[in-house]
Amino acid sequence: MSSDGGAGRGPTQIASVLIFAGLLLTLVVSIAPNVNTVVVEIAEVMWPGYASELRGDPEPPDCSVEELDEKLAACPPEDVAPAPAPGADEDPFGGANPFEDGGGGAEAEDEDPFGGANPFEDGGGGAEAEDED
């Protein structure tokens, strides 16, 4: 065995594999329409009328083009802003800002649901601490 041509062997093999893959891809792409035809013919044998349903002529519409044009003319143009909803001028909070001090939600903030105890301390409030008293 000789080791004379081993240095350029890697790039040559990579190039050969790439060329082979390109030729194989060309072959697959070129025979794809023929494969499709064969598959449709097989389906026609299995299900009679299969191929005739693939390329049927579309049915003409049963509506009048003039009626559609009239309906389209009655639509508002696309660049016009939509009308506001009925009652959109009314303030749902009755003028009071619920996030201001003294607003709609201030009464609820004065009440402490934990009664001043820290619920995250060990033994600092909660149901367990009330039972021990």
Q: How confident is the model at residue 10 (pLDDT cuts 50, 70, 90)?
A: confident
Is 51's pLDDT higher than 70? yes
What integer pLDDT is reported at residue 25 of this predicted model?
93
pLDDT digits (tens, 9 = 90+) for 53-75: 777 777 887 888 888 888 888 88
Q: Specify the pTM.
A: 0.28
What number of H helices and E strands is found in the chain? 5, 0
pLDDT digits (tens, 9 = 90+) for 29-43: 888 888 888 888 888
Tell me how far apart the alpha carbons of residues 130 and 50 are, in angstroms, rounded to a whole number: 79
What integer pLDDT is reported at residue 16 of this predicted model?
94
- Other CB atoms closer than 10 Å to residue 117's CB: what's the count? 14
pLDDT digits (tens, 9 = 90+) for 79-122: 777 777 776 777 766 777 767 765 554 455 567 778 788 888 87
